[in-house]
Structures are given as C-alpha cells and as structure tokens.
C-alpha cells in the first residue's frame, strides 16, 4: 500500500493536550494534515482550564515543520471548535472525538454532578463536535470520524457507571452515524483504546501505564482517518500492539411458539438454552438483529 498521508486535509482532535490526543495530532501533522489541537486544559476530573496544554502541542507540531492551530473550548461548545478549524484553515475533513474526564465512584455515592459532568464531556461533547462538523462533511461528500468508547462501556466496570453509560452511548452514536454517512462518503468508526494517560493512571499500576504507550494506538486511528480506509461502523479494541474488531454475538437462544401463552415458567425452563452462546451468530445491523423475531412472528400466519 502507498504511504498514508493527509496532505490538504484538516483534522480536529479533541482532548489533544496530552496522552492519546497529543499522539494522534503529532502523527497526523507529520503526514501532512493541518490539525486543530483542542484542549480545555483542565484536570482529569474536568475541573479548571488552561491554554498551556493545547499550545504546547501546537508548538511541538510547528517545531517539527507541521501546521496546527490551538483551540481552548470545552467540547460541549463543539460549534466553536469547528469554527476554529474553518477560520484557521478553511475546511474540515477529519474529526477525532477523544476528550474525556473521569469521576470514578460507586453508584450509591455518585452525585448528580459526577453523572452530568462525565456524560456531558464524553457523550454530549462527542455529539456537539460531530453535529457541528456534519453539515460540512455532508456538503463535500467526504469525512472521517473516530469516536472513542471504552472497554468499560462495552463490558461495564465497577465504580464507572457514569463513564460506562457515556462510552456505550458514544458507541451507539458512532454506529448510527456510520449508516447515515455512508451515502456521503463519511466513514465513522469507534475505538476502545487502552493507553497510559492521566485517566488510566487512576485505575492501573504505573508500570502498566508506562508500557501502554499511546503510540501503539495512534496507527489505527490514523488509518481510520485516511482516504484509504473504506470501512465504516466498526468497533475496535486497540492497545499494546493488539488490534481487534468487536461485534455483538447473539446466542441461538430459545424460540417459543406464539400459538399459545408464554409464561415466566417457560422462560425459566429454557433459561440454560437462552444463555448458551454455543453456535452464536454475529449481528451487524438492526435488520439482522430482528430476523429471528420476524421469522417467529411470521409463523402465526401459517
């Protein structure tokens, strides 16, 4: 394959003042992209703000011969971030929704503020930036969007109800937009990365974080943002050199006849079969998911 480059393309990377976002920005810029480096500059729990983090990454890019502009808005003000891209570079092609915060606490101790702040930055922020970018990408019939979910969203995790809810919401948003963007050549994919950062340092040992380098994640993100990538609607776990697509697996389950009443006892009698994943099938669309239901419903007409 020819070298993957981004000459003439403009990218927004949110939460780019450090960690994964910084690494994405540096990689895209090194391959010709003009990058809007967005970062509010607050603490990992969402408190405070500073222009230093985004400006430092912009300075790094420029020192290496690249082109970048800083943006200091919260992702909740997504329209302002997109405006920065248009004002600075006159176009927009790539959106990487990476910004996030953590407020880990068990559900019974979680405050309303803990819930709203995490949902706001992750889910509302991803929505706001993408919503502002969407008309531009549609009108030019080209766009690449990367959403960031998490293993906590895909599988759940103790003490992260707010984070998990936001992250699975982001996955659903990305999958829905993949369908909507297909005819306009807007490819939307979702990643569940693991890398050392201010956030993962709160839940993983330091020696593990030190070895989970953001540079092991960035190549997948760069590919998903490239013209060469024609895949859309994928969820990918990535970290430490491991790249793997995730899809929902549904068990064959139990099919009960609709010609008579279905009782809780019927469910209990078939519980082992309902939960047996042997011979399970992948579901890749709402249509595929509904096929078994429609097939059983159709049996009433026979």
Catalytic residues: 163
Q: What are phi and psi of 52, to 5 degrees?
A: -65, -40
Torsion-angle region of 148 (φ positive above 0: left; ψ -120 to 50: alpha; else: beta): beta
Whole-angstrom distance, CA of residue 137 vs CA of residue 279: 40
Contact call for residues 121 and 99 (beta carbons, < 8 A) = yes
DSSP track, the chain? -PPP--TT-EEEETT-SSHHHHHHHHHHHHTT-EEEEE-----TTS----SHHHHHHHHHHHHTT-EEEEE---GGGHHHHHHHHHHHHS---EEE----------GGG--HHHHHHHHIIIIIHHHHHHHHHHHHHHHHT-EEEEEE--HHHHH--TT-HHHHHHHHHHHHHHHHHHHHHGGGTEEEEEEEE---STTGGGTS-HHHHHHS-GGGTHHHHHHHTSTT----S-EEEEETTEEEEE-EEE-------TTS---HHHHHHTHHHHH--TT-EEE-SHHHHHHHHHHHHHGGG-
Distance between CA 197 and CA 169 in Å, rounded? 22
User: Which residue do the tokens 């998490």 mark?
Assistant: 150
Cα(94)–Cα(85) distance, integer angstroms:
10
């Amino acid at each position: 394959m020819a070298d993957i480059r981004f000459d003439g393309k403009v990218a927004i990377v949110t939460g780019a003042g450090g960690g994964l976002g910084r690494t994405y920005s540096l990689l895209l810029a090194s391959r010709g992209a003009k990058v809007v480096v967005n970062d509010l500059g607050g603490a990992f729990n969402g408190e405070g703000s500073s222009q230093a983090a985004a400006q430092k990454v912009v300075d790094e890019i420029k020192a290496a011969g690249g082109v970048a502009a800083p943006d200091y808005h919260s992702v909740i003000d997504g329209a302002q971030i997109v405006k920065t891209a248009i004002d600075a570079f006159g176009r927009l092609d790539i959106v990487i929704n990476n910004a996030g915060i953590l407020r880990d606490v068990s559900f019974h101790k979680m405050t309303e503020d803990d819930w709203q702040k995490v949902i706001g930055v992750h889910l509302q922020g991803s929505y706001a930036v993408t919503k502002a970018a969407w008309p531009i990408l549609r009108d030019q019939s080209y766009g690449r969007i990367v959403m960031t979910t998490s293993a906590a969203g895909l599988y759940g995790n103790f003490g992260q109800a707010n984070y998990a809810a936001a992250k699975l919401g982001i996955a659903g948003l990305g999958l829905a937009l993949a369908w909507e963007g297909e005819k306009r050549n807007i490819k939307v994919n979702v990643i569940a990365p693991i890398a050392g950062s201010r956030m993962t340092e709160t839940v993983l040992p330091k020696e593990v974080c030190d070895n989970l380098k953001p540079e092991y994640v960035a190549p997948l993100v760069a590919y998903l943002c490239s013209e060469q990538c024609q895949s859309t609607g994928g969820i990918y776990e990535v970290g430490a050199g491991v790249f793997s697509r995730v899809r929902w697996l549904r068990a064959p389950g139990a099919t009960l006849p609709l010609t008579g009443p279905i009782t809780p006892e019927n469910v209990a009698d078939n519980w082992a079969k309902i939960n047996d994943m042997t011979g399970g099938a992948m579901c890749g669309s709402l249509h595929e998911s509904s096929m078994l239901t429609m097939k059983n419903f159709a049996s009433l007409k026979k």
